Structure 1
Amino acid sequence: MFSDYEYPEYDDALGDEPKRGVLWRVLGWVSVGLAVVLVGTSLVAYGTYRKLQGNITQEDVTAELGTHRPPKLNQALNILLIGSDQRNGANAKYGKAEGERSDTIILLHFSPGGQKAVGISFPRDSMVQLPSCKTASGRTIPGGLNMINASFNNGGAGCTMHTIETLTGIRVDHFVKVDFTGFKRVVDALGGVEICLPQAVNDTDSKLHLSRGRHIVRGDTALAYVRTRHGLGDGSDTDRIKRQQKFLGAVVKKATSNGTLTNPGKLYSFLDAATKSVTTDKDFTVDEMKKVAGSVQGMSAGKVQFVTVPWGAYAPDPNRIAWRQPDANNLFAAIRNDNKIQTPAKAQKVNVPPAQIKVRVLNGTDTAGLAQRVGDQLTARGYSVAGIGTATTKPSRTELRYGSGADQQAAALGQVAPASSPVADQSVAAGVVDLILGPDWNGLKGTRSTTIPKSSDAVTASDDPCKA
């Protein structure tokens, strides 16, 4: 438990010093737009990328990530976006708080081949089981039940990457951290962003005063729009997240429009303003960005979608939320498995009734309780589960091993339990099949969705801001 960290309360009035919580949710959304354009356009000369690289600060997070990480299952790209409220240097005018905190954690997922992108928002008030992590000074902080943003507050970007990987099973390739001063100049560099108000707003707290309908907003007004709680919606943080997603969609739409991409001056101004406020991992170099740019060339705003991790009430505290299961895990599984692969030739189907297949499920991963869960799923499908246990060695991928006389049973089980080709093993009891779960295990076929689940409140970058 992160017992030595106290969470400050934020009120809505900006006053003379903007509050860090709301500002960093804003900067997190802007960072998504930055990432989409920075890695998504191939219209900037390579020399310009080199120049922009000089604006970016880089960190080495290898030690924080450790060696026990989720496997990279495909060629998808996952970038973790973090909003930081660091108060030194140019950020000092926003307050005197020391250290860094984050209210924004977003995982941006690019499908293989640049076909689509999904931004997953992790609400800061989510109560989750955090893994242990290291601080910048090298001190190890034990894991425990806490708000998800405690991972960054205590261990920085590396700890947050480790937390997201542990909770979702998704391999995170890179992180992008955005600092405090970039919001206004990024929006202004785009020439403003279009919003649409369902009714007139006069909110003295956020200082938002606009009539009903469409508006092009810049710096201060854009900030007020995404931070107001009393002037729009039901006043909840999740309602504000939805509005911020729409704002982000407008940012991406504007940033990827012909008016920006085909105008070298506008494009460079946007990228220059954005990269001056960015920190990345040491491996996210300009060369890597150039490779990514080529892979997602031509992706339109309509292919960029934004969703929030499914959530519900957290009974012990009405001011916190809990992820709704199994919906959250189904979303994570869909992201993990998002890959464009050629369909192999169909193998001849083996028909053996589940009741005639004796299977022993062995856990060869670091995920506690995995064998028991899979065993329960097999039992529910009518299979004869002969035992649950831990593998003596950890395989690099899921395996099927069978004893004497169980070759057909192993082949039949392989049709629902993805694994390497079944192998005869004299150490396995006669008539029994051992299912040894490896780090690539993603569930029985038919258990989870193989596509990103549809969400009724999903936001797409091409959406008209005036349409509900």
Structure 2
Amino acid sequence: MGRNSVRGEGTRGRVPHARESGWDDEPYGADGTTGADERAVAGEAGAEGASPRATRRRGGGPAGSGGTGPAAAGGRAAARRQAKKSGKRKALRWSAITLSLLILGTAGAGYLYYEHLNGNIRGGARAGGNSGVEKAKPNALGDTPLNILLIGSDSRADEKNIALGGGRNDKNRRPLADVQMLLHISADRENASIISIPRDTVVPIPECRDENATYPATTNRPINESLQRGGPGCTLTTWESLTGVYIDHWMMIDFAGVVAMADEVGGVPVCVKTGVHDRSTRTVKGGSGLKLAEGTHEIKGEQALQWLRTRHAFGSDQNRAKAQHMYMNGMMKQLQKQNAWSDTGRLMGLADTATKALIVSDEIKSVSALFDLSMQLKNVKIDRLTTATVPTMKYPPRPEEWLQLVPESADKMWTMLRDDVALDKNGDKPGAKPKPKPAGPVKPKAKPEAPDS
């Protein structure tokens, strides 16, 4: 929300005068007393020059009489009562002033924090080229699916990323999109799917452009190079051209961002059936350094990054994608477990970390837009979140390095996404009628008799 979105701003009605609310708001005197206080003091002292009418009303004697009779005593008692009432009003007034300052201070701090978060967010153009794909038409309720492309960059542009990812020689190299997942949220927001394409899969990359250059189309390069050919907008355009699915937004994170988010969540649960140690060997160089014993672990920090980058220990890019999907599922479970969408303190911490960690497409480059986007996921149950990797096979020209899609399988998956067909089996089947409830009490089923011996 910006300044103009504050309710009632610019249309503020008349502020009621304080006296209308039942308490005194007389201005302060030079000594800090109010007009009412001064009147009470004057009455108690028998102020010289008071009018006879005022004197009679206070029960005192004539002006200048010294106020020694019963009437004067009554006047002093009345004055004390008046001063006591005035003191209560004064305390109430100070409380109201303090409360007002607290409200204003909190609102100011909230606004400054909001602006701080907005200042964290970096963005870029949604598309890097023209795919010709149009947004899906709304359903009968006016809703459309939501598609978000999630990109993991291998950038070594700063020291944090170099420390985590190695490769100082790659500091000036344009980053590759090592992780690419399409998050599809159904139009009814009841189910979602995450589809991956392995990074070394050769696909057609359309013509793309950024602020510096235009990159010609190519048909013989792996999909992770799309990030080098026009930035994340080009990766989005490549996915749209390949799938025929309109993609609303992209979000990109680098090594340091993954570590920061994993730490903020407090650890993400993952599970391995056998021990894992991804290290260099004589036959296979490299490795992320991940070392885990058999069982379930909550990973965070650099270990989370190692998990997402591990390929050799999992055997293939397909299994690497499965590991990444497990991580995504685990993070969703953690966020729902922590009530991240309703716990204000939790949300503020996540917001600060996420806005620093992510780069997003320009149309969601604000706190309010990102919050609205996160709310689209709030009601998707974990058992309605499906993860899948597009089937691939070896790419004949370079079978040891690159892959290519299995056309029939990929086309079937793209069609399901375009038609907003749920990939899970936990929802109602299209057109299915609700099962009628029994009219009377349900009788327990008879237990089967034991077979004759």
Q: Secondary structure at the match of 1:145?
A: strand
Q: Cα 1:323–1:217, aligned 2, differ >3 Å: closer, same or farther?
A: same
Q: Give distance in 1, aligned partners of 2:180 and 2:310.
A: 20
Given candidates 317, 324, 337, the residue that maps to 1:237 is 317
The gaps in structure 2 that reach 5 residues or longer are 1-109, 139-143, 281-287, 426-453
- 1:283 equivalent among 338, 341, 363: 363
Equivalent residue number for residue 70 of structure 1? 134
CA distance in 2, matches of 1:130, 1:104: 16
> After superposition, what is the alpha-carbon deviation per residue over 1:112-170, rounded to whole angstroms, capped at 9, x for unaligned?
13111111111111111222222441334233322112221121112111111111111
The CA distance in 2 between the partners of 1:82 and 1:226, in whole Å, is 12
What's the TM-score, normalizing by structure 2?
Answer: 0.59
Give the one of 241, 244, 258 matched to 2:338.
258
Aligned to 1:55: 120
More strand by share: 1
What residue is the counterpart of 2:223 in the other structure?
Answer: 148
Indicate how the Cα distance of structure 1 residues 316 and 46 shifts in structure 2: closer, same or farther if over 3 A, else same.
farther
What is the DSSP-based 3-state SS (H/G/I as helix, E as strand, rest coil) of the residue aligned with 2:305? helix
1:305 aligns with 2:305: no
Measured after TM superposition, the shift of residue 303 of structure 1 is 2.3
The 8 Å contact of residues 77 and 173 in structure 1, kept in 2 or not, is answered as yes
Check conservation: 1:80, 1:108, Cα contact below 8 A: yes
Amino acid at match of 2:183: L
TM alignment of 1:13-412, pairs within 5 A? 51-61=116-126, 64-66=128-130, 68-74=132-138, 75-89=144-158, 91=160, 93-94=162-163, 95-97=168-170, 98=172, 99-205=174-280, 206-229=288-311, 232-233=313-314, 235-258=315-338, 260-286=340-366, 287-318=368-399, 319-338=401-420
Question: 2:112 and 2:419 mapped to 1: Cα distance?
Answer: 35
Secondary structure of the corresponding residue to residue 177 of structure 2:
coil
2:308·2:324 contact (CA, 8 Å) conserved in 1?
yes
Residues 253 and 136 of structure 1, relative CA distance in 2, 3 Å threshold: same
Compared with structure 1, are the counterparts of its residues 214 and 294 closer, same or farther at alpha carbon in structure 2 (3 Å cutoff)? closer
- Offset, 1:185: 1.6
Take 1:337 and 1:202, find their aligned partners in 2: how far apart are those partners? 41
Query: CA distance change for structure 1 residues 265 and 451 in 2, over 3 Å: closer, same or farther?
Result: closer
In proportion to residue count, which structure has more helix? Answer: 2
- What is the identity, as a one-letter code, of the residue corresponding to 2:389? T
Deviations 1:263-294 (A, max 9, x none): 43333323321220211121114343344445
Cα deviation per residue 1:232-269 (whole Å; 9 max; x = unaligned)? Answer: 44x22222221221122111111222354454333332
CA distance in 1, matches of 2:153, 2:278: 26
**Structure 1 residues not aligned, in runs of 5+:** 1-44, 339-449, 455-468
Q: CA deviation at 1:298?
A: 2.1
Aligned partner letter, 2:251: V
Task: Please say which structure displays the higher CA radius of gyration.
Answer: 2
d(CA) in 2 for partners of 1:311, 1:202: 26
2:433 alignment partner in structure 1: none
Contact kept? 1:256, 1:300, Cα under 8 Å? no
CA distance 1:200–1:158, shift in 2 (3 Å): closer
Partners in 2 of 1:201 and 1:67 — Cα distance?
41
The answer to which of 291-300 and 191-200 deviates more is: 291-300
Q: Secondary structure at the match of 1:215?
A: strand
Q: Distance in 2 between matches of 1:256 and 1:46?
A: 27
Task: Report the Cα distance in structure 1 between the residues aligned to 2:210 and 2:336, rounded to whole angstroms.
Answer: 37
CA displacement at 1:202 relative to structure 2: 4.8
- The answer as to whether partners of 1:113 and 1:296 remain within 8 angstroms in 2 is no
The residue number in structure 2 matching 1:9 is none
Give 1:51 deviation, angstroms: 4.7
Q: Kindly tell me: are residues 61 and 261 of structure 1, through their superposed partners in 2, closer, same or farther at Cα, counting changes over 3 Å?
A: closer
User: Which amino acid in structure 2 is aligned with residue 87 of structure 1?
Assistant: R
In 1, are the aligned partners of 2:178 and 2:199 still within 8 Å (CA)? Answer: yes
1:201–1:211 Cα contact (<8 Å) kept: yes
Query: What is the distance in 1 between the residues matched to 2:262 and 2:300?
Result: 6
Distance 2:247 2:135 in 1: 10
Summarize the Cα distance change of 1:260–1:61 in structure 2 as closer, same or farther, 3 Å threshold. Answer: closer
Offset from partner CA, 1:205-238 (integer Å, 9 cap, x none): 54444432222222123333344445x44x2222
Amino acid at match of 1:52: L
- Aligned to 1:54, the other structure's residue is in SS state helix
Higher relative contact order (CA 8 A, sep 6+): 1
The question of whether the paired residues in 1 share the 8 Å contact of 2:131 and 2:241 is answered with no
- Cα shift at 1:173: 0.8
CA contact (8 A) 2:131 2:240 kept: no
User: What RMSD over aligned residues (CA atoms) do the two structures have, in Å?
Assistant: 2.8
SS at match of 1:317: coil
| C-alpha spacing 1:123/1:47, structure 2 compared with 1 (3 Å) | farther
TM-score by length of 1: 0.57
Please give the alpha-carbon distance, in whole angstroms, between the structure 2 residues aligned to 1:67 and 1:246: 31
Opposite residue 280 of structure 1, the aligned amino acid is V
* Identical amino acids, percent of aligned pairs: 30
Checking the alignment, whether the CA contact within 8 Å between 1:127 and 1:320 is kept in structure 2 is yes
CA offset digits 1:159-197 (Å, max 9, x no partner): 111111111111111111112311222111111122223
